Each structure stands twice: as structure tokens, then as C-alpha cells.
Amino acid sequence: MSDIDVIIVGAGPAGLTLAAELSLAGVRPLVLEQHLVPRETQKASGIGGRILDHLRFRGLLGRFEELSSDPHIAPRFPFGTLQLDLTQLTDSPMHAMPIAQWEIERLLDAHARDLGAEIRRGHEVLGVRQDDDTVTAEVRGPDGTYAVTARYLVGCDGGRSRVRELAGIGFPGTTYPEVNRLAQVTLPAPVRLLDNGDIDVPGLGVVHAGFTRLDTGVFAFATDPESGITSLMTTENETTEYDDEEPLTLAELGASVRRVLGVDLPMADPKRLSRFTFKDRQAENYRAGRILLAGDAAHLLPATGTALNVGMLDSVNLAWKLAADVQGWAPAGLVDTYHEERHFAGARARLQTRAQVALRRGRDEADEALRQVIQELLQDEPALRRMGALVGHSDIRYPMPGADHHALTGAFAPDLTLHTEQGTTSVAELMHAGRPVFLDLADRPELRAVAREWAPRLDIRAAEADDQPADALLIRPDGHLAWAAPIGEPAGTAAATLRAALAHWFGSPSGA
């Protein structure tokens, strides 16, 4: 019998999130990372959307805020060369936190290790084989090759996933013939920053802040008036295959700016330099027997600011389901719901990033008219709110079995302020342990009696809420609602639907 429950291939954000969530659930993960030391190559520059809510539900959000350059940055985001300005809303459905990916990984690494996860760096997976009960990885480490066996193996090893290839999972989609270069720099004299945020470039004239579309490509920039740091990006049609590990240099960026704008742009003090291409791909299945995929191994999205967040949420969804199976109480088909739910969520992420491709790449007058119409629509609150939720991944409502569900069922649980005999708390605080929670908001003893049949697998809480959305909530470990009782629903109906939901997600009653 192996002393490892789940092998995780890859120590990026998705892999480390999965390791932490599995450890929190009492499962023994092993992370295998082929690189000997953590990489500080600039990739993602922040996290945002629903994953911030999850971090709050685990009590981790403060750790990220401490390392962020602006943890409460105004919610303004690019959307396919348009501007998604959510500051117009009193309660934005999408927030973001600037923080370098290598710092995100360092935080997640420390958190996973604190919970007991084992992380081996410099260990490359060469092969994978599985049978009905286990999966074995052939690994090359610093001291030679060896084999390790576990109940499951999860490939979190990026867009060129070796695990996905070994599992024979198809990865259809499109790679767009363009290269994007992104940087944070200062623009020294003779470039002049104008009061309205535009810049005056010698030999060219005024370049407006935002996106400038030319036959040679796209140039975009914005300058922080307080720090003087300019974030800029170029997009050019190219078919060159770049090594992701080969860093972008200031000279390469300068050459790209010259090709797009036609003049040299003085740049200095680079704070970030990164290069990326846009790929639109999704694994045909997130599971092949005892091998599963998460993060970039499962999907590549053709726009920035989304992939890391979606990948971490894959892991949050998967962890508790694998833990239930390893611990022997998972109902039939529970692990399969990972593909059903997260493939659906990945398709939603592809929908909005594909739309950004159309807005970004179209060059004729009709395309410009489309951009203008959509930008006008985004001035209206309902459209702006809907788009913010789509980009932030906060519009995901997983399909649930049965019929006549409460409107909240399948959605992420609202973070209600709760009043108990012990004092004031919140839904987020109840979820710190990563366990399922039954929350009675209307003193329904008959529903608590049903929930107790699943104890100690289930935490049972009672409280009052200022803004009570339902009589009771059943919250899965990933924060999504498995069930909710409408206010005043008859006892017999509520008890029957609660029992069905508990059995569907958490197996047979504990004493059965």
C-alpha cells in the first residue's frame, strides 16, 4: 500500500492549490515538479474574480493582500481593446489584486507545506501507467529514477502537459498567429507624459492612452500618475515559437515597439517583462481513469487575466471529491462531476476570451463599429454587471440534480454576516476548515435532524442572518451551494430534498 494518496504533477498555482486543499481534507498528496528551484519568470501579474472569494473562505486573503502592490485596486480591466470600467458599480462583481505569479506560488507552496503536503522539486515524470485501483508514475529525480504509486494522479503541468499526452487526452483548439509583449517601465525624456495620460513621442507625436491599432500591430499603454510607471503591451502577427522559459529582454521589447509604432520609444527601469502567445484549447475530457487534469493542462484561454484564476478554481473543485473517494465515502460518480462542472466552467471562460479575440483582431470598419457598439453597451449597468461576472468567473452556477431548485443552488455561497450565541461570524469563517457545512438560518430542528445523519462528515451550524436568503443552506467544501430551502418551505418537502442532496454529494448517512 502506497503512503501517497494523490500524485500532483506540477508546482504551479493549480498544483499547489490542489496540494493544499487535499491536505486540508486529510489526504496525503505528493507534488512532483521538474524544475529544481522555483521560477521567477514573470507570467501572470495578479489574481482576481471568484478565486479571491475562495481565498477569503479559507482565511488566506490577508496573506495575499500583504504582498500585493495595491490589494484594493480600482476594478478597471481591458476587454479585447475595450475598457471594462466596473468602478461605476457600487458592488463590482469582479475585483483583482496585483501580485506577481512567483509570489503567488511562494505563498501557496508555504501554505501547502504547512498543511503537510510533500513537494519534490527537480523530479520529472517520465511515464504513467494505471490499473483499476492505482496509478504509477515513473520519475527521474536528482538521485536517479524511481516509481511512485497512488490512488490518483493529477496533471497540473501546463499547456504542453506531458501527463495529458501520456493519458491520451485530446486537446483540440486554435493557436493564434500573434505574439504579445508586456512590460512595466518608465518612459524617460524626451518622451513627455501629458496631463490627460497620453504621451508625446518625438518623431511621432501624441499617442493616446489605451489601445492604438495600426496595420503593423497594436500598441497599448497606461501610466500610473503617482509612481510614473507605464504598463505597455505590443501585439504583432507572428508565427515564431518562443520558449516560455526564455525571458523577454528590454531590447526585444524595444524592437517590437519600433516595428509597431515606427519610431524608437525610450524605456528604462523595467519592473516586468513577459511574452506570451494566445491559444484557445480545451481538453476533451478532464479525466481518463485515475488520471485527471487541472489548470493550463486542461485549458488554454486566448486572453490575459483569466487562466490562473480558472486553474486554481479547478483544483478547489477537484480536491474534496478526490478526498471523498480516497476516504471511502464518495457516492458513485462524484469524481466524474469534476469534469462535468469544470469543463462547463472552462467553456464559459473560453466564451468571453474568444469574444475578446474577435474584438482584438478585427481590423476593418465593421469590426471598429462592433467595438464601438459594445463599448456603448458597457456604459449600461446591467450589461456591465453581467460582463464583469462573466470575466470574474462569478456567474458560474453548476447544474444540480433534481428539479425546482432554489435560485441560489449551484452558485457560490453568499458571505453572509451571521449572529450566533457565541457572537458574530460569517459564512467565510465557517468555511476555513474546508468541510461541508449545513447552515440553519431559521431554527429548523427537523432539518438539523436530517443533517445529523451525515455527522461527523458534515459541520452543522445554526445562526441568524441580517439578510436571510433561505431557511437553510448546504454548502459544499468548494463554497458552492448543493441545496437551499426556500423561506417557509414545508418541513416534509424541505427534509426530503435535503436528504436527496446530502446523499448525492456526500454518500450514505454516516451510520448506514
pTM: predicted TM-score of the whole model, two decimal places: 0.92
Alpha carbons 414 and 418: distance in angstroms, whole number: 11
**Tally of residues, the chain:** 512
| Cβ burial 214-245 (10 Å sphere, 16+ → b, else e) | eeebbbbbebeeeeebbbbbbbbeeeeeeeee
172-214 pLDDT, tens digit per residue, is 999 888 888 999 999 999 999 999 999 999 999 999 998 898 9
Has residue 386 got a pLDDT over 60? yes
Place of cell 502592490: 69
Question: What is the DSSP code (8-state) at residue 293?
Answer: E
How buried is 5 (Cβ within 10 angstroms: 0-12 exposed, 13-18 middle, 19+ buried)? Answer: buried
H helix intervals, 398-509: 427-430, 445-452, 491-506
| CA 353 to each of CA 239, 274, 392, 393: distance values in angstroms, whole numbers, following the listed order | 20, 20, 12, 12
Helix (H, G, I), strand (E, B) or coil at 191: coil
Residues 132/152, Cβ–Cβ less than 8 Å? no
- What domains, with CATH codes, occur in the chain? 6-171+283-391 (3.50.50.60), 176-278 (3.30.70.2450), 417-506 (3.40.30.120)
Has residue 1 got a pLDDT over 60? no
Alpha carbons 334 and 482: distance in angstroms, whole number: 13
Helix (H, G, I), strand (E, B) or coil at 76: strand
Q: Which helix (H) or strand (E) covers residue 412, if one does?
A: none
Question: What is the DSSP code (8-state) at residue 413?
Answer: P
Question: What is the DSSP code (8-state) at residue 36?
Answer: S
C-alpha cell read off for 66: 500583504
| CA 331 to each of CA 27, 128, 366, 405, 505: distance values in angstroms, whole numbers, following the listed order | 17, 27, 53, 21, 7
Pairing of strands 437-440, 459-462: parallel
Has residue 44 got a pLDDT over 80? no
Residues 373/248, Cβ–Cβ less than 8 Å? no
Alpha carbons 234 and 227: distance in angstroms, whole number: 22
* SS3 annotation, 96-113: EEECCHHHHHHHHHHHHH
304-361 pLDDT, tens digit per residue, is 889 999 999 999 999 999 999 999 999 999 999 999 999 999 999 999 999 998 998 8
C-alpha cell read off for 55: 481565498
Name the residue among 115, 67, 55, 14 with its Cα closest to residue 432.
Answer: 55
Q: What are phi and psi of 92, to 5 degrees?
A: -65, 135
Average pLDDT, the chain: 93
436-450 pLDDT, tens digit per residue, is 999 999 999 999 999
Name the residue among 409, 313, 314, 392 with its Cα closest to residue 353.
Answer: 392
Q: What are phi and psi of 444, to 5 degrees?
A: -105, 85
Alpha carbons 359 and 73: distance in angstroms, whole number: 25
Has residue 404 got a pLDDT over 80? no
Residue 176: the pLDDT is 87
Q: What is the mean pLDDT of residues 262-287?
A: 92
Name the residue among 82, 87, 48, 89 with its Cα closest to residue 65.
Answer: 48
Q: What is the mean pLDDT of residues 471-489?
A: 97
Residue 488 gets the label, from left (phi > 0), alpha (psi -120 to 50) or beta, of left
Q: What is the mean pLDDT of residues 498-505?
A: 96
Q: How confident is the model at residue 107 (pLDDT cuts 50, 70, 90)?
A: very high
